[in-house]
């Protein structure tokens, strides 16, 4: 059976005259052009589907952005020490 209703807060109010027994399990399917997706992918924000869609989206950056990022990484490098704290001999 299909019933129509409207959302008010966290409650779905069914159309006039529809009475379901308390505790009835229902499935809500959202339809209609007036429903905007929460994120551009159309999936709820933070959902696994939204995260996978974001990972599948190529970065929108220029070659200059990549060069600036690479330069910043080079500037931030620290020298590598191969001896550990316990490798040092006491003098």
Residues 6+ apart with CB under 8 A from 50: 38, 39, 41, 43, 44
What does the pLDDT average to over 3-22? 86
Look at residue 35 in the predicted model and tell me its pLDDT.
53
Asked whether residue 90 carries a pLDDT value surpassing 70, the answer given is: no
The reply to whether 89 falls in a domain is no
Say how many domains are in the chain.
1
Look at residue 37 in the predicted model and tell me its pLDDT.
55
Predicted TM-score of the model (pTM): 0.32
Measured between alpha carbons, how far is 80 from 38 in angstroms, rounded to an integer? Answer: 45
- pLDDT tens for residues 21-67? 888 888 888 776 655 556 667 777 778 887 888 777 777 788 898 89
Measured between alpha carbons, how far is 37 from 53 in angstroms, rounded to an integer? Answer: 13
The reply to whether 50 falls in a domain is yes
CA 27 to chain centre: 23
The reply to whether 63 falls in a domain is yes
The reply to whether 52 falls in a domain is yes
Residue whose structure tokens are 């379901």: 20
Look at residue 71 in the predicted model and tell me its pLDDT.
92
Domain with 70, as residue range(s), is 34-77
What does the pLDDT average to over 3-25? 87
């Amino acid at each position: 059976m299909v019933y129509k209703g409207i959302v008010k807060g966290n409650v779905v109010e069914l159309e006039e005259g529809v009475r379901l027994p308390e505790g009835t399990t229902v499935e809500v399917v959202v339809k209609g052009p007036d429903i905007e997706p929460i994120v551009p992918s159309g999936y709820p924000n933070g959902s696994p589907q939204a995260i996978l869609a974001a990972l599948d989206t190529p970065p929108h950056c220029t070659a200059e952005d990549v060069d600036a990022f690479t330069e910043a990484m080079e500037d931030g490098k620290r020298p590598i020490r191969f001896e550990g704290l316990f490798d040092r001999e006491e003098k």
